[in-house]
Amino acid sequence: MGGVMIATNASDASAFGNPAGLVDVEGNNLSAGVTLSNFHYTPLPAVPEFQFSDQLELHLSPSITYSRSFQGNGFSIGYLSELRNKATFSLENTRSEYLVDEQRFLAKTLSITEYNQLLQSGWYVGYSKKMGRSQLGIRLNRITQHAKKGQVFVGLALDAQHASDINVNDPRALIPAIIDSLNLADLGQYIEQSDEVSQDLERSNFDLDLGYQHRFNIDLIGKRKILTGLVIRNLLQRKFVERLPTKIGIGANTKILKWLTTGLDVWRVPRHRGLDFAFGWELVKSWNRGFSGNVALRNGLSRINGVGVCSLGLSLGLGSSRWEYSLQGRFRDQPFDQATHSFASTVRF
């Protein structure tokens, strides 16, 4: 809902939002999702020594989680990973020569891949407990970060020597003779590969997230229930390859009408410009004719590290299944393919 996650009770709270919201999960929930963001494919300027040179950047985050609540307790377990990869692909010009005296053809070409990647992955376990109008939650994360940087060289060196009875001045006879002299059944003998690693670091540690939620009534166009929340993420501040800063956020969520819900989050993140915030709303239409279902339209505005972001999402629920898609993009200078696209599916049983 526009990036709002602190004062919500969604089934994905165990992975991304407030672990205190696990108490409100209904039934058994198995969720899987993937987020694709910051996709850049850029052809680099041509240079004489290369046939082409392209750059690719990609962030990919798959996740899977199971959550369940019972008798005022909530529980979840899941796996979450994030891959950030930036690579440059270059192919050198092919150099070839024909040695007439030896009836031999030689050709060489080299591809170079420069890569810089960070893989963060790990398991997490969440637990929450209801205490009157309040609920507390905790999420224990086992995180592994693996950073690797280097170059991969793949060389193709063809070496073909034909019989001496071939007329080298007749291309119609010379070219088939060269091809026939190659061992196409074992092309691997012509390929050489090496990986020159300049950085290879791995760190694993535990970290902790805490969450709190409280419900109270307020007179706002009649009596409305307000759900408020507090989240502290990365509380332990353990050492990783890339530091995970402690983040503190507060939020509120209320259902203004039967079909309209709004929410607001405010975050304090070290080294970010000012406060981060997210404001979102959700329009829901439910039915129970023949079969139960619902459709939800979500929209929101947020500010992250001084950059304005707009989000749009759609959710469709049919029976015990739900499918969701959301799009987040900066207000300025961001093509559609570089925006953040999230897909998720949940089965309740």
Tell me the residue type at 36: L
Residue 104 to residues 169, 174, 186, Cα–Cα distance (Å): 14, 11, 19
Tell whether 281 is covered by a domain.
yes
Tell whether 1 is covered by a domain.
no
Alpha helices in the chain (DSSP H): 171-180
DSSP 2: T
| Host domain of residue 273 | 11-348
Structure tokens at 232: 């502290």
Helix, strand and coil percent figures for the chain, each rounded to 5:
10, 70, 25
DSSP 95: E
Own/partner contacts of 336-339, CB < 8 Å, gap of 24 or more, are 337/39, 338/37, 338/38, 338/39, 338/40, 339/37
**H-helix or E-strand containing 86?**
strand 73-92
CATH number at residue 136: 2.40.160
Number of domains the chain contains:
1
Tell whether 344 is covered by a domain.
yes
Count the residues in the chain. Answer: 349
pLDDT tens for the chain, 349 residues long, are 677 888 876 655 445 689 998 888 888 889 999 999 888 888 888 888 888 899 999 999 999 999 998 888 999 999 999 999 999 999 999 998 988 888 889 999 999 999 999 999 999 999 999 998 899 999 999 999 999 999 999 999 998 888 888 888 888 888 888 888 888 778 888 899 999 999 999 999 999 999 999 988 776 555 678 889 999 999 987 788 888 889 999 999 988 888 899 999 999 999 899 999 999 999 999 988 777 899 999 999 999 998 999 999 999 999 889 999 999 988 877 777 778 999 999 888 8
d(CA 329, CA 175): 54
Question: What's the CA dihedral at 25, 26, 30, 34 to 10 degrees?
Answer: -50
Tell whether 310 is covered by a domain.
yes
Own/partner contacts of 91-95, CB < 8 Å, gap of 24 or more, are 91/50, 91/51, 91/52, 91/53, 92/49, 92/50, 92/51, 93/48, 93/49, 93/50, 93/51, 94/51
| 83 within 8 A of 59, measured Cβ to Cβ | yes
Tell whether 272 is covered by a domain.
yes
Give the predicted TM-score (pTM) of the model.
Answer: 0.82
Backbone phi and psi for residue 175, each to the nearest 5 degrees, phi listed first: -65, -50
Tell whether 4 is covered by a domain.
no
Tell whether 61 is covered by a domain.
yes
Tell whether 277 is covered by a domain.
yes
Structure tokens at 181: 């002299």
